[in-house]
Structure 1
Amino acid sequence: MQNSELARIIRERRAIKSGYNDKEVTEDMVVRLLEDAIWAPNHGMRQPWRFIFVGNGQRNSFAAKVASTYPEERQKNREDYLNVPNAILVVIMEESDIPKQWEENYGATASMIQNFWLLAWEAGLGVVWKTNPHIYDPKVKEILNVGENEKIIGFLHLGYFDEIPVRKDRISIKDKFTRFKG
């Protein structure tokens, strides 16, 4: 059986953590990708996500403000780290006090991120989903105007790249699949 184009993209997709070239990641490009990515399944059509785009013109200021929330001895390192990607997309999820809805919202947001990542890969744009400690920091939430009922799900580091990272094999599905015997 031959793999579909979608299956090929799923298998070829990589996390691009560094090695970005100078090609600008535009807001228009990110919005176009998000227009399709948001078609992820989401219970009750809550569409529990929103986004903050940090482009080339805002990246230095953004990196400095987020880095300022770290202890002084780590600030330079964190600022340099946040200036590596060409752009950052902050993904924010609406939280619920109802555990079932919270989990449904998280699953929907994660599915949307995967859609975005695959669409970006198809377009030659590298992505890595970062969940560094600063996404949990109340000071970072304040800097980004994240509401009381919202959670930062991650910073998507974005950039065009010239070299594809080495593929990391997966454990065979045969080792992870069983049949109910009841």
Structure 2
Amino acid sequence: MQPPVTPAPAGPFSAAEQAAVYRAIETRRDVRSQFTDRPVDDATLLRLLEAAHHAPSVGLMQPWNFIVIRSLTVKAQVHAAFARANTEAAAMFAADRSALYASIKLQGITDAPVNLCITCDRSRGGPVGLGRTHNRDMDLYSTVCAVQNLWLAARAEGIGVGWVSIFHEAEVRDILGLPETVVPVAYLCLGHVDALYEEPELQARGWARRLPLADLIFADRWGQTAPDAAQ
């Protein structure tokens, strides 16, 4: 017989604690070129992985694994995979966008002291899982929550994080020796930073701008705008 479960008291954080949480969210950046050469010590890295491991996961499936990469050889292989895909990507944009695309640094694979691949084991928990009976992708969504947890904890620690997504998955699978059931969800570059852009770098460089929140809020159904949404 299961013992009774008693919820612990809960309430809002202090004003200072709330401010720290929102500051981490609002000043988080995708880092490509601000990494210093200071090493990320094991204790700090473990705190970041603990933060990721405390992410919400549907059915408590915890489908993630963390491949910590410091090997210069492995980094060089991943960088080569990025370079091949990036050349293909640049050709997909119209001429004016292609030139801007080529001017933006989109990775820090060999600059960052640590690379980290966060994976999702799609076989974890077996063929039937709580909360996953009707949406098989909840394991992927849960893993992305782990990525976000790590990213916010890293911001609080003064560690920059950059997400590299421009590569053919098969190449990264081969480099890292991933089993068939394991998906590479996020390939991240981690390192200390002394400065960050005050706004997202892609916004600062004119690639895109943050959309107004009020334009993205609907009431009760798609396209139905609340009278005073986000005001």
Normalized against structure 1, the TM-score is what?
0.80
Q: CA deviation at 1:27?
A: 3.5
Paired position in structure 2 for 1:156:
188
More helix as a share of residues: 1
SS of match in other structure, 1:129: strand
Pairing of 1:19-168 with structure 2 (within 5 A)? 19-55=34-70, 58=71, 60-67=72-79, 82-95=109-122, 100-134=134-168, 136-137=169-170, 139-168=171-200
In percent, how many aligned pairs have the same letter?
Answer: 27
- Residues 19 and 45 of structure 1: CA distance in aligned 2, closer, same or farther (over 3 Å): same
Paired position in structure 1 for 2:94:
none
Q: CA deviation at 1:140?
A: 2.8
SS of match in other structure, 1:82: coil
- Residues 99 and 154 of structure 1: CA distance in aligned 2, closer, same or farther (over 3 Å): farther
- Residues 111 and 4 of structure 1: CA distance in aligned 2, closer, same or farther (over 3 Å): same
Q: CA deviation at 1:81?
A: 5.7
Q: What one-letter code is carried by the residue in structure 1 that aligns with 2:212?
A: S
| Cα shift readout 1:105-158 (whole Å, capped 9, x = no counterpart) | 111111111110000000000001111214x12x43133121110111121101
- Residues 89 and 178 of structure 1: CA distance in aligned 2, closer, same or farther (over 3 Å): same
SS of match in other structure, 2:189: strand
Gaps of 5+ in 1: 75-79
Runs of 4+ deviating beyond 4 Å = 67-71, 96-101
Q: CA deviation at 1:180?
A: 2.0
Q: CA deviation at 1:166?
A: 2.9
Q: CA deviation at 1:14?
A: 1.1
Once residues 73 and 115 of structure 2 are traced to their aligned partners in structure 1, the CA distance between those partners, rounded to angstroms, is: 12
CA contact (8 A) 2:78 2:172 kept: yes
Once residues 29 and 65 of structure 1 are traced to their aligned partners in structure 2, the CA distance between those partners, rounded to angstroms, is: 26
SS of match in other structure, 1:25: coil
Which structure has the bigger radius of gyration?
A: 2
Q: What one-letter code is carried by the residue in structure 2 that aligns with 1:87?
A: V
- Residues 5 and 63 of structure 1: CA distance in aligned 2, closer, same or farther (over 3 Å): closer
CA contact (8 A) 1:27 1:53 kept: no
Q: CA RMSD in A?
A: 2.7
Gaps of 5+ in 2: 1-14, 88-106, 201-208, 225-231
Paired position in structure 2 for 1:77:
none
